[in-house]
């Protein structure tokens, strides 16, 4: 990723816990994510750009779906790129490549080469969001597709309202903002893409409740990163234990969601 990011494993208190959270997130969403990527227009023969691949939790899915094409995974952390590369045991027919974008020009060689670009839970962390989206725009072929998936804390719903979660969200939003991030970015994606000249912009919101994902897992997915960010992981675990019985008896409601936006160049 080109640009300063509010997300770094080195800044978190428990790196293993965060990697486990991300892996659990990817595992739970795999079938849905494959369906959504196909609906977004990803084809077996496509050249795919994965912008902000991290340690490659979704990269194998992209390689599977574009098995006759090529996948190029980009990040600005060499350690994560190495982990990502090691996950690919069955690369697409036209190859798999990782690129380090920390030098600001690694995507220049991809000018108008990409059929499909995927940016997943990345935009919320990038300070210079339009700059990153411009890189994607320039890399796409004419009529190429971008698919952006991100969260929006406005989609977190709970009843009865719990003060601990309210304060946790507020504190995490404030801290991430100081690092260039935006916990409310989901709602802003269509406008960002329109400003860059993308067309055929379509958006959808996908919600999850504890009926879809077990309460403990859902709570950790929604709040685990935020709690680690502000140093309240232990407090979150205690809160989950306290709420578990209420959630299981439908006396506490919790939901979260993602925003998915597709557009064409």
Q: Is residue 112 exposed (0-12), middle (13-18) or buried (19+ Cβ within 10 Å)?
A: exposed
pLDDT of residue 10: 52
pLDDT of residue 201: 98
Residue 221, in any domain of the structure? no
pLDDT top residue among 5 and 162: 162
Q: How many domains does the chain have?
A: 1
- Within a domain: 174: no
- Residue 220 covered by a domain: no
Question: Does residue 160 form part of some domain?
Answer: no
pLDDT higher at 136 or 19: 136
- The domain of 77 spans 9-152+182-208+257-264
Is the confidence at residue 241, as pLDDT, over 70? yes
Residue of higher predicted confidence among 225 and 265: 265
CATH number at residue 57: 3.40.50.150
Whether residue 82 lies inside any domain: the answer is yes
Determine, yes or no, domain membership for 50. Answer: yes
119: pLDDT strictly greater than 50: yes
How many residues are listed for the chain in this entry? 265
Q: pTM of the predicted model, to two decimals?
A: 0.89
pLDDT digits (tens, 9 = 90+) for 197-206: 999 999 999 9
Dihedral class, residue 146 (left if φ above 0, else alpha if ψ from -120 to 50, else beta): beta
pLDDT band at 3 (very low <50, low <70, confident <90, very high): very low
Tens digit of each residue's pLDDT (9 = 90 or more) over 147-184: 999 999 999 999 999 999 999 999 999 999 998 899 99
DSSP 188: G
Judge whether 169 lies within some domain: no
CA distance 164 to 199: 41
Q: What is the pLDDT of residues 53-85, one digit of tens each?
A: 999 999 999 999 999 999 999 999 898 999 999
Q: Show Cβ contacts of residue 80 under 8 Å, excluding neighbours closer than 6 positions.
A: 9, 53, 54, 55, 56
Does residue 48 lie in a domain region?
Answer: yes
| Confidence band of 14 (pLDDT split at 50, 70, 90) | low
Point out which residues pair with 256 in neighbouring strands: 208
């Amino acid at each position: 990723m080109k640009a300063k990011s509010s997300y770094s494993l080195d800044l978190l208190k428990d790196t293993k816990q965060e990697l486990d959270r991300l892996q659990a997130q990817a595992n739970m969403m795999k079938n849905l994510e494959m369906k959504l990527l196909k609906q977004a227009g990803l084809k077996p023969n496509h050249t795919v750009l994965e912008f902000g691949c991290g340690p490659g939790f979704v990269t194998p899915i992209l390689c599977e779906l574009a098995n006759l094409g090529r996948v190029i995974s980009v990040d600005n952390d060499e350690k994560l790129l190495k982990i990502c590369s090691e996950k690919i045991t069955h690369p697409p027919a036209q190859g798999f490549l990782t690129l380090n974008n920390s030098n600001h020009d690694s995507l220049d060689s991809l000018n108008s080469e990409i059929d499909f670009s995927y940016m997943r839970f990345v935009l919320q962390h990038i300070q210079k969001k339009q700059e990153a989206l411009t890189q994607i725009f320039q890399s796409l072929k004419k009529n190429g597709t971008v698919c952006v998936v991100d969260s929006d804390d406005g989609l977190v719903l709970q009843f009865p309202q719990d003060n601990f979660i309210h304060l946790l969200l507020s504190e995490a939003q404030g801290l991430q903002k100081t690092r260039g991030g935006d916990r409310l970015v989901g709602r802003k994606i269509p406008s960002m893409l329109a400003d860059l000249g993308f067309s055929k912009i379509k958006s959808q919101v996908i919600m999850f409740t504890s009926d879809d994902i077990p309460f403990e897992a859902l709570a950790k997915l929604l709040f685990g990163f935020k709690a680690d960010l502000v140093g309240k992981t232990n407090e979150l675990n205690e809160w989950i234990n306290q709420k578990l019985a209420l959630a299981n008896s439908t006396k506490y409601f919790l939901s979260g969601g993602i925003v998915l936006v597709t557009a064409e160049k």
